[in-house]
Amino acid sequence: MSRKHLCRETIAFIAFFSTIPIYSPNVVPLRQHLQNDETMGYFVMPMLAAAAIASAISFAHAAASSSRFKKLFRMYSFVSPFGYAACMVYFVLASIGAIPTQTTLVAICAAFVGLFLPRVTIRWGKRLEPLCLQQALFFVCITCVGTAAIDWIFNTLPPVPLATLAASMMLFGTFSPYVLSASGQAGYVEDPKNATQENDPGRLPCITTESDFTDSNDRHAKISLIPRFVSVLVPGLIGLSVFAFHMGVSREVILDSISTEILGNIIASLILVPLCFVRGKQPISVLLFSGIAPVAATALLSYMSIASDFGASDDFISIGIYAFFCIAAQISLALGIAGTHAREFSTPMIWSGFLALFCVFSILGLTLGSILSGKQAIMPQTIAAVYCAYLIIQSVCSLLKNNPPSHDGNPESTDEEGDYARRCEKLAESFSLSPREKEITTYLGRGHTCSYVAKALVISESTVYTHARNIYRKVGIQSKEDLIQILTTDPKSQQNK
């Protein structure tokens, strides 16, 4: 994706993201103009429930990779942007009192918004498929900063300009991916399977039809798809779920203090943006989940434990906690985009799964928050402490499982790195390795484990094992040690082999 297209995609996606109703700061400005505060409750809960159900159905259909109901889903995808836009316009106008507000109509409108939202989100997910993890992280950071700025502007506008701007941005963000795709601009792959096979034979094709499974082994792969999905994207699934749960539980604090969300998003983005330009031996995914996340967790725990001793106000503690959860959410979204780029799982499966979990945990958080009522103040710190402990333990276990390789062939200097890359290139050409196999070879040749490679490439371990077996078979070796030996010997020996 070129910089020009990426800039255009970013502006359009910010317009979509800053008006999406499942993110609570986006509905705060409209809530301020409601004559009846209970109206928001009639909108939020039905919308989240409908979005969760629709996303779960889309996820199940994508995971089953069935061609059944194909026409129904195609029609569903076609009407979704129109239905979503119409219902959102009604809600915006009803919020400012431009049209009569009836709770029944608001609830029905909310249900349709939730019903149509997953397909619009999936369409955006397809537009973002070309972004790798580092590009995706930068894209998400820019989007969150832009959304924070727009939310701040929305809170300063009177009703009519607010409704006009919100509706215009919503329409622009909703229809942009469809217009860009129809115009044939890069960013959306109409047939992921064909594009994968033609442009990059090494990338695992998305399974899209029932005919992809023709024997018992394929059926076994089909059954194991969901466990592989969870194993690859579990950091993102958990991070986004915890963020949604925190927003739900802390809704009174969040809805009454928009500055907390604005500052939290900006702080999180400022922390993560420099990582988008890091060029090192460690893949950005390993750096994020084994470095940044546990360090941020440790810092937050330390901050919460000493903040009261230094007389820090509750607002500063809330901003710190929210910034931490924003970091987790932004990394999770970037991981989801990178997952579509890797193509082990289809875009509908990834984004419907993310959206379903986000909505479910938002509902759980809202429900628990209403039950606890006045005891909500302690919940954000409790949630943060538990999640921080999980991140630290998970990071330690990952480091123990993926010890840094100690082979002599592990390149250290720039010259050795370039020589190593040339040897991998020569090996790939000599034995007709696919691009994905060549990529995995560079990691295995350094002595990295399959678990490390899976995390680095955002694919499952079983997929790495499959590629590794194919590599060993093509090269005519038996183990990773043999591969390391080949890559650490003189290139002439490879030609004589």
Strand, coil or helix: what is 183? coil
What is Dmax (Cα atoms) for the chain?
83
Higher pLDDT, 337 or 94: 337
Q: What is the dihedral of CA 358, 362, 363, 368, to 10 degrees?
A: 140
Higher pLDDT, 266 or 213: 266
Rounded CA gap, 98 and 388, in Å? 45
Measured in whole angstroms, how far is the alpha carbon of residue 47 from the centre of its chain? 21
Q: Average model confidence (pLDDT) for the chain?
A: 80
Number of H helices, E strands in the chain: 23, 0
What average pLDDT does the segment 423-435 reach? Answer: 89
User: Are 347 and 126 a contacting pair, CB within 8 Å?
Assistant: yes
Please give the C-alpha separations between residue 385 and each of 40, 246, 382, in angstroms, as whole numbers.
30, 12, 5
- Considering only CA atoms, which of 335, 356, 348, 357 is closest in space to residue 459? 335
Rounded CA gap, 102 and 150, in Å? 28
Q: Rounded to 5 degrees, what are φ and ψ at 457?
A: -100, 0
User: Are 424 and 433 a contacting pair, CB within 8 Å?
Assistant: no
Is the predicted pLDDT of residue 213 greater than 60, yes or no?
no
Higher pLDDT, 478 or 203: 478
Q: For 315-368, how does the pLDDT look when each residue is reduced to its tens digit (9 = 90+)?
A: 677 788 888 889 999 999 999 999 999 888 999 999 999 999 999 999 998 888
DSSP per-residue string spanning 283-328: -HHHHIIIIIHHHHHHHHHHHHHHHGGGT--HHHHHHHHHHHHHHH
User: Are 237 and 230 a contacting pair, CB within 8 Å?
Assistant: yes
The tokens for 108 are 């029905």
**Residues 6+ away with beta carbon under 8 Å from 261:** 24, 25, 148, 151, 254, 322
User: Are 332 and 237 a contacting pair, CB within 8 Å?
Assistant: yes
Report residue 446's pLDDT band, with 50, 70 and 90 as the boundaries: confident
Is the predicted pLDDT of residue 28 greater than 80, yes or no?
no
Q: What pLDDT sits at residue 312? A: 61
DSSP per-residue string spanning 385-438: HHHHHHHHHHHHHHHHHSPPP--TTS--SHHHHHHHHHHHHHHHHHTT--HHHH
The tokens for 140 are 């998400």
Is the predicted pLDDT of residue 253 greater than 70, yes or no?
no
**Residues 6+ away with beta carbon under 8 Å from 371:** none
Q: Rounded to 5 degrees, what are φ and ψ at 489?
A: -95, 170
Rounded CA gap, 8 and 247, in Å? 30
User: Are 92 and 114 a contacting pair, CB within 8 Å?
Assistant: no
Residue that has been written with the tokens 């604090």 in this structure:
253
Q: What pLDDT sits at residue 202? A: 38
The tokens for 358 are 């986000």
Q: What pLDDT sits at residue 126? A: 93
- Considering only CA atoms, which of 403, 496, 410 is closest in space to residue 445? 410
Is the predicted pLDDT of residue 192 greater than 50, yes or no?
no
The tokens for 204 are 């695992």
User: Are 465 and 390 a contacting pair, CB within 8 Å?
Assistant: no
Higher pLDDT, 454 or 379: 454
Q: What pLDDT sits at residue 197? A: 34
Q: What pLDDT sits at residue 352? A: 95
Is the predicted pLDDT of residue 275 greater than 80, yes or no?
yes
Q: What pLDDT sits at residue 338? A: 92
Please state which of the ranges 123-137, 317-331, 467-481 shows the lowest mean pLDDT.
317-331
Q: What pLDDT sits at residue 378? A: 64
The residue type found at 354 is F
Percentage of the residues of the chain whose pLDDT score is greater than 90: 30
Higher pLDDT, 252 or 190: 252
Q: What pLDDT sits at residue 254? A: 41
Is the predicted pLDDT of residue 191 greater than 70, yes or no?
no
Q: For 290-316, how does the pLDDT look when each residue is reduced to its tens digit (9 = 90+)?
A: 778 888 888 888 877 776 666 666 667
